[in-house]
Every structure is written in C-alpha cells, then in structure tokens.
A and B are shown apart, each in its own frame.
Chain A
Amino acid sequence: MNASVQGALRSYSDAEILGMIDEKAGVYNPKIYTDESLYKLELERIFARTWVCMGHESQIAKPGDFITAYIGEDPVVVSRQKDGSIRVFLNQCRHRGMRICRADSGNAKAFTCTYHGWAYNQGGELVSVPMEQEAFGGCLNKKEWGPKQARVDTYKGLIFANWDAEAPSLDEYLGEAKFYMDIMLDRCEGGTEAVPGIQKWVIPCNWKFAAEQFASDAYHAGTTSHLSGIMAGVPDDVDLSQVAPPTTGLNVHMSNGHGCGLFLRNPMFYMTILGPKVTEYLTAGPAYEEATRRLGKSRTDVHLCHCNIFPNLSFLAGINTVRMWQPRGPNEIEVWTFTVVDKTAPAEIKEEWSRNVSRTFSAGGVFEQDDGENWCDIQQVLKGHVAQQQKFNIEMASHTITTENPEGFPGISFAYTYGEESARGMYRYWTQIMTAPDWPSIREIKPLPVAAE
C-alpha cells in the first residue's frame, strides 16, 4: 500500500494520480472520468474539503425558508434562521440515518424524520425525540445528536458551504475568481436575484466534462458544436459576416482550480443568445452605465464570460445561467441550474432574460442539448477497454502561453479565446488536491502552469 493512503481505498499511488496529466507532452488520462476509486477519492478530497455552492440567497429570503442541496453526494439542508443567518447541515437523522427533510424547498419551523419522528429545529438542533423519557430513561443528551453542521458563507448572493474546518475562508478560496463573478453578480447596487425555480435533470457523464468546459472551452462554441444554435438565434435580416464567432478574448487559469474564458467587445454574440432587448440592456443605457461605474469599462465590455469555480459551480456571466454539476458516481451527474437577473432590471427585461436562457441553456435549451450530447457520447465511448487506454490531447496554446496579460485582468491569461491553459490548470489542480493529505499541503499548491515556467 502507498504510504500516503488515507481514508478512501486507493487503487492509484500519488505518483500515478499526479501523472494523469502530462503537460509537457500535452496529454491526459481519460480514466479520471471513469474510475470508481478515483471518484470515491474525489468525494473525500475535493467535495468534502472545498467550498461548494448551495444556491442563491433569494431562494431562502425569509426566516424558515429552506432548500435542500448537495455537497458532492452528501445531501444537506440550507436553512434561513430567525436572525437572518444561514445554516447548512447534513440531511441525515443521527438515529438511523434517514433524510431529515424530503422536500426540495419550502418554509418550516421544524424538520421531522419520517422514520421514528426525531425532530430538529430550523438550525438543525435535535428538539424532540418521541418517548424520550419512557424509552431512553432521560439519558439521551439531545444536544449531542444534531446533524453535522457545515461552514457557511456567501459571496454577493451565492451561498457556499464547506465541511473542512481547516479550509481557507470563502473569500480567500474564491480569490481571483471574484473579479469575474462580479461581471454577473455586481452590475448594480441591488445585486442579483434568482429567477424562481431550479431546473434539475440527470445525464450520464462525468462531472468534470461540464466543469472543464465552463472553465476553459470556448473552442466548441465557435467551431462545430453550437453553430446551428447560433444560426437559430440570428435575426433574419442580419448579415452573417457580422456574426463571426468571437476570437478576441482570454482563456484564464486561476488559483484553487478555478478557470474562465471570455469574449471581449463582441455584443453580437449576446444578440444571438439573449435577443435584442437584453443585449441593449446589457450594453447601453442606465444599467450599462451603472455597471461601468461599478466594474470599469473593460469588464462591462466582456460579452460573455464562461467560468467554473472549482469544483462544480459554473456560470455564464451575461447570459447568467448558474449551474451546479452534482456528481452521481463517475458516470452520471444531476445538472441543477437557475438563472440570476439584476434585481433592479425592469420586469420586461427579467422576463426576456429568463425566456432566452430557457431557450438556450435549460433541459431543452438549444445549446444545452449540444453540450449534453457531447459529454454523454464521450462517456459512452469510454466504456470501451481500448478507448480507455488512449490519452486525450490537451496541448492547445501550451506552446504560446504567456503570463503577460494585455487586459490587466487577474489570473494567468492567454490572449485568445481558444486555449486550454485553464483546462490544464483545472486538471493539474485536480491531481494536486487529490494527492494532498490536508489543507496545509493544499495551500502549498502553486498555480503557475508548467508551460509558463
């Protein structure tokens, strides 16, 4: 057995995991998408140690409001307290382990396990045990039997939770990514609100296909995958030479495994996805001016930023679809998505925004189906023994990478929309956090890419 074995049963040594991406050769090992033992290690070393998104504060606006969510495969209750604070606790009764709350969302004074009736208050404290005096003889100390509580923090409306007491603060963990999150979350004084409802569906693919694509992959959008969807959104009277897929932009790798890419100064791309009304709202007039005052012109002229906050929170700033890729084994995910809008946007704009996100990025969205089809097809191919032995190419822009950053944006950028430094950064971080025994050693991980050294 390897000396570093801790927790989950290990099939791979640290050296083997670290070797799963070879940046110098520009290849990586697709077993990271299919191997059961690596998946179990991901639950332990990634999902149980990093800040994972729970949803948006507006989804639990009032005291007693709750949603149920997941940290990896661990179900949790996210509950607004009387004092306005938020608690996140494991959705597991301490008696026999049944789910304490079986609803997706609601407002509750208490959560009662439906098996034997142990009941917990809004904060997750055990308040009632049936037949406590008669059956337990008054010997049960209820204070000790509440469900496990997670650390909770928020960033501009998004709620995050973390099981690990040693992990850095959310603010430190998000780091450079906040600069890009603000493009979506901080355009106006009032911040954002979530369009009611979380869409949830199941597709057979590994969570990292989705996370990596949002972190790094603009390539699929402008090459083949989404062209029919783009064509469908182009108004009839538009000259097609004016809707060339954007190539002015960045591919950005950040610390802690986060990544993003963005298109600059190309509002026509918004037009094909969000339609003329929302495009105008985002690119001209008082809302644009307020956003420019808050974010600076270089950021308000970002026309779409695709981003993944490691491990599994993705968003498209501008389009404002937010998604959590809930892992369900190496071969399946639940996709959970909701849309955020500027709180102070006119009702008509919010409606138009929501409608166009549904048209493009929802269970039936024209782009969503392209993405799901690609990820699921790769996963199916990887059932093949020979297919699993092949190495995938991940060398794009590795020969031309530079730490120079023409826009002055944070992170390590490559000044072209199509690049894979952000993907390499994410997978490199994946190998590093998977082999790091604790947060002091995770903190020592250096974000600098091999190619830039």
Chain B
Amino acid sequence: MAWTKAFPSADLPEGEMKQFAGAAEPILICKLGGKVHAVQDTCTHDTWSLADGFLEDGIVECSLHFAKFCVRTGQVKALPACDALKVFPAKIENDFIYIDC
C-alpha cells in the first residue's frame, strides 16, 4: 500500500462521487462534508461500477441490481449484495486527493 495521487480535489464536488482508474482496481472516491472517502468501485454482487449509480446520505446504490453500501465503512446496506466493499484510506493534501492503495 502506498499513497497514490488521484486527482485535484476541485474536480470532485461535495456530495458527488467519481471513479479513479489509476490503481490496481477501480476505486470509488466521494466527498461528504468536506471529507473524502474511498471504497472499491466494483459492486460485490456483480461486475458493475458503483460510481455509475446513485449516492444519497453516504449510501451508494448500484444501478444494476440496487445493492447498497455505506461509502464510509464499505458495509452492505441492501441485498442482493452480501459482501462488504474494501475501504481505502483517503485524504486531501495541497488541494489533491490521495488514496492509500
């Protein structure tokens, strides 16, 4: 694991999410209350990008089969998914987002 520079913080508006493709696997990065969070972007139920889904109150919903996860903890919040998402440490430094991956 190492801190990887993702993209400028300004590219990610508050309450939104974005896929980062520059790591070993796609990572979903989102900004909530000024803090950034990073979880595995691929739904644990099926091969689909969660960043293509919907984010509301810190919960991401997959647009394919409507599984839900907490973007802070990776925990499953709705079936059909049963397995949690991997969580990656994330921070903002010098206006850039960094992910430990």
Chain A residues packing against B (C-beta within 8 Å): 108-110, 112, 117, 119, 128, 130
Q: Are A128 and B63 in contact (CB under 8 A)?
A: no
Q: A110-B64, A112-B65 are in contact. Are A130 and B46 (CB under 8 A)?
A: yes
* Nearest neighbor of B47 in chain A, beta-carbon distance: A128
* Nearest neighbor of B53 in chain A, beta-carbon distance: A109
Kindly state whether residue B100 has any CB partner on chain A within 8 Å.
no
Can you show 28 pairs from A to B with CB atoms below 8 A apart?
A: A108-B63, A109-B49, A109-B52, A109-B53, A109-B63, A110-B48, A110-B52, A110-B63, A110-B64, A112-B63, A112-B64, A112-B65, A112-B66, A117-B64, A117-B65, A117-B80, A119-B46, A119-B48, A119-B64, A119-B65, A128-B46, A128-B47, A128-B48, A128-B64, A128-B65, A130-B46, A130-B65, A130-B80
**Bound state CA distance, A119 and B65, in angstroms?**
8
B44 to chain A, nearest CB (A): 13
**Bound state CA distance, A110 and B49, in angstroms?**
11
A111 to chain B, nearest CB (A): 10
Interface size on B (CB < 8 Å)? Answer: 11
Q: Return chain A residues, CB-CB under 8 Å to B66.
A: 112
Q: Return chain B residues, CB-CB under 8 Å to A110.
A: 48, 52, 63-64
* Nearest neighbor of B64 in chain A, beta-carbon distance: A119
**Bound state CA distance, A130 and B48, in angstroms?**
12
B12 to chain A, nearest CB (A): 19
**Bound state CA distance, A128 and B67, in angstroms?**
14
**Bound state CA distance, A212 and B63, in angstroms?**
44
**Bound state CA distance, A59 and B7, in angstroms?**
33
Q: Return chain B residues, CB-CB under 8 Å to A117.
A: 64-65, 80
* Nearest neighbor of A109 in chain B, beta-carbon distance: B52
Q: Return chain A residues, CB-CB under 8 Å to B64.
A: 110, 112, 117, 119, 128
* Nearest neighbor of B66 in chain A, beta-carbon distance: A112
Contact with A along B64-77 (1 / 0, CB 8 A): 11100000000000
**Bound state CA distance, A239 and B66, in angstroms?**
64
Q: Return chain B residues, CB-CB under 8 Å to A112.
A: 63-66
Question: Knowing that A109-B63, A119-B48, A130-B65 are A-B contacts, what are 13 other residue pairs whose CB atoms are under 8 Å apart, sorted by A's residue number?
Answer: A109-B49, A109-B53, A110-B48, A110-B63, A112-B64, A112-B65, A117-B80, A119-B46, A119-B65, A128-B47, A128-B48, A128-B65, A130-B46
**Bound state CA distance, A334 and B65, in angstroms?**
32
Q: Return chain B residues, CB-CB under 8 Å to A109.
A: 49, 52-53, 63
**Bound state CA distance, A130 and B64, in angstroms?**
10
B77 to chain A, nearest CB (A): 18
**Bound state CA distance, A108 and B63, in angstroms?**
8
**Bound state CA distance, A300 and B64, in angstroms?**
50
Q: Return chain B residues, CB-CB under 8 Å to A108.
A: 63
**Which residues of chain B from 8 to 51 have a CB within 8 Å of any chain A CB?**
46-49
**Bound state CA distance, A117 and B81, in angstroms?**
13
**Bound state CA distance, A130 and B63, in angstroms?**
14
**Bound state CA distance, A272 and B49, in angstroms?**
55
Q: Return chain A residues, CB-CB under 8 Å to B52.
A: 109-110
A436 to chain B, nearest CB (A): 44
User: Nearest 8 CB-CB pairs, A to B?
Assistant: A109-B52, A119-B64, A117-B65, A128-B46, A109-B63, A110-B64, A110-B63, A128-B64
**Bound state CA distance, A130 and B65, in angstroms?**
9
* Nearest neighbor of A129 in chain B, beta-carbon distance: B46
Q: Return chain A residues, CB-CB under 8 Å to B65.
A: 112, 117, 119, 128, 130
**Bound state CA distance, A119 and B48, in angstroms?**
11
B68 to chain A, nearest CB (A): 14
**Bound state CA distance, A112 and B47, in angstroms?**
14
Q: Return chain B residues, CB-CB under 8 Å to A119.
A: 46, 48, 64-65
